[in-house]
Amino acid sequence: MIWNLSHRADPAALLIADRHYNRQKIGTPQFVPPGRCLVLLCDGALWVTSWPFAEYVRHAWPGAWVNSLYRKERAGQASTLIREAISATRSIWTPPEQGMITFVDPKHVKPTMVRGKPVYGYCYQKAGFNHVGFTKGGLWAWQMLPHEMPQPEQIPVMRELCI
């Protein structure tokens, strides 16, 4: 396991979060939406799984875990880091029936050309997510159901350096 458990106001994670395109207020001490969350940090990468209460969700996947932030500034395959983050999340929580959802903004990421067509969030597809549509605002929606998720793997409590 390359990820370490962190928290929503970790100063080291904040530096990476501030460089993510969905950051609303750069520099504020917390970078995670309200509600239940799991923050994972590795040298040069940050992952946040949010688990909003279904009654407060406005998208078509209420109750799902939401990968609300993923930023990789290190070497290595993004899809491998994603699968390990999901595995770590599963070691803490039991996945909901809707699994995990993530949204990719085509205005802020470069597409990968797949069979001559642009795909936004291709690393999620490589990790096992399925493209399930678009939000009203035009974000690409990717979903991974519980039976498609990797097995749980424990998160180290502390580690000086991720390899």
Main-chain dihedrals φ then ψ at residue 42, nearest 5 degrees: -140, 160
Kindly report, residue by residue over 147-163, the tens digit of the pLDDT. Answer: 999 999 988 765 443 33
End-to-end CA distance of the chain: 10
Measure the CA–CA gap between 47 and 6, rounded to whole angstroms: 10
pLDDT tens, residue by residue, 56-90: 777 788 889 999 999 999 888 999 999 999 999 99
Q: Structure pTM? A: 0.88
Average pLDDT, the chain: 88
pLDDT of 95-145, one tens digit each? Answer: 999 999 999 999 999 999 999 999 999 999 999 999 999 999 999 999 999
Are residues 61 and 143 in contact, defined by beta-carbon separation less than 8 angstroms? yes
Distances (CA, A) of 147 to 7, 58, 96, 110, 143: 27, 25, 11, 29, 12
State how far the Cα of 66 lies from the Cα of 34, in Å rounded to an integer: 12
- pLDDT category, 49, cuts 50, 70, 90? very high
Q: Which residues pair with 50 in a beta bridge?
A: 37, 66
- Looking up tokens 């990790």 gives 127
Among the residues of 1-149, which ranges form H helices? 11-17, 78-92, 122-127
Query: Could you tell me the two tokens for 90?
Result: 């599963």
In terms of C-beta density within 10 A (0-12 exposed, 13-18 middle, 19 or more buried), how is residue 86 classed?
Answer: buried
- Distance CA(146)–CA(1), nearest Å, equals 20
